[in-house]
Homo-oligomer: A and B are copies of this chain.
Amino acid sequence: MGGGDVPIGFGVVGAGTIGRVHVRNVAARSDARLCWVVDVDRSRASALGEAHGARIATTLDDMLADPAVHVVVIASSTDAHEENVLATVHARKAILCEKPIGNSLDGARRCVDAAQQQGTIAAIGFNRRFDASHRAVHDRIRAGDIGGVESVHIVSRSYEATPPAAAHRAGGLLREKGTHFYDLACWLAASDPVEVYAAGDCLFDCGYADYGDVDTAALTLRLASGALATFSFSRRTAYGYDETIEVFGARGMLQSERLRPRGVSLYRGPRVTADGIDANWYDRFAPTYAAELDALIAAVRTQSPGDPSLVDGLRAQAVAEAAIESLAQRAPVTIREVWR
């Protein structure tokens, strides 16, 4: 990549919600340059990319042939991820791939194998690791503040439910939402997943059942260290985007608590009423997407591996696939160690 002064060139594949986040963040940086926006729907790509001076395409070919592009952000639909990753590896560009890597463990494995053989700098879009609170919990665990991790509890409840068909296309509750949090648990506990048990049901929208999916789930994950992680997921809340972490250890307990963006409290009668949590995931996690780019650009500058890496993505996906099987079988399922 040469000197740190040359902006890093980016191509973004996928002009949907998350693609827009990446495009805005790349465009706002002085150390990066948005070169291409690719989407199967040219008008969607244009609407997003032209305002930022990017070139537009419906396939990856021209972008991958452009030597100005150093990094490809893969934010296309999940079922296109594998093809996009393999082509980008082949073109010897760095990768930031949105999660999950794909809809099958074998496909995800093929992506990781290709990137490893090629020595590709390949990061996975586990933005939660870049949240200042979550990361502080991680760092303080590593610093020994709570001793060995014995249990982890993670809540993730979306504000507005993704409709069943779209949820299914994105990978389903246990794969699309879940991978973020299986990764967090492994990262926080510094241990690999061993076995998962998933219980779940359609409690408010039986439409998810048409796709073998659920709207509510409780999971238990055993880690190699012996630590036990539990997860509580819901597709929607009546009070905002709800994500919290509690890590219990031999010497103490750490929380990444619910954050209130405003500090207003009203005392009246027998109650105190405070402003609640952020309404949606983006308000809550916007800074993490910029921090994710910081890390990736630093990796490209120093030619170090992406972190979190595609391998982390594969590990989380191995949990997801086992969780999906567990849900169907109503029994705990051993996780295939495909990431080793």
Contact = CB atoms under 8 A, between A and B. Distances in A.
Contacts of A253: 237-239, 242, 266-268
A263 B259 contact: yes
A216 B151 contact: yes
A168 interface: no
User: What band does the interface of chain A fall in when counting residues whose beta carbon is under 8 Å from B?
Assistant: 35 or more
Interface in A149-163: 150-151, 153, 155, 157
Interface string A257-281: 1111111111111111111110100
Nearest to A250: B204
A24 interface: no
Interface in A300-330: 330
Nearest to A219: B220
A227 interface: yes
Interface string A218-234: 10101000111110101
A228 B238 contact: no
Contact of A263 (B133, B218, B242): B133
Nearest to A227: B203
B234 A150 contact: yes
Given A150-B204, A197-B332, A226-B201, A250 B238 contact: yes
A54 B96 CA distance: 36
23 contacts: A145-B266, A146-B238, A150-B216, A151-B234, A199-B228, A199-B332, A200-B228, A203-B227, A203-B250, A218-B228, A228-B232, A232-B248, A237-B248, A239-B267, A239-B268, A239-B269, A252-B268, A253-B266, A254-B265, A259-B262, A271-B274, A271-B276, A331-B331
A276 B266 contact: no
B262 A133 contact: yes
B272 A260 contact: yes
Contacts of A157: 248
A74 B83 CA distance: 56
Interface of A: 132-133, 136-137, 140, 145-148, 150-151, 153, 155, 157, 197, 199-201, 203-204, 216-218, 220, 222, 226-230, 232, 234, 237-240, 242, 246, 248-277, 279, 330-332
Given A226-B203, A257-B265, A270 B274 contact: no
Given A145-B268, A251-B268, A264-B257, A218 B216 contact: no
Contact of A272 (B153, B230, B273): B273
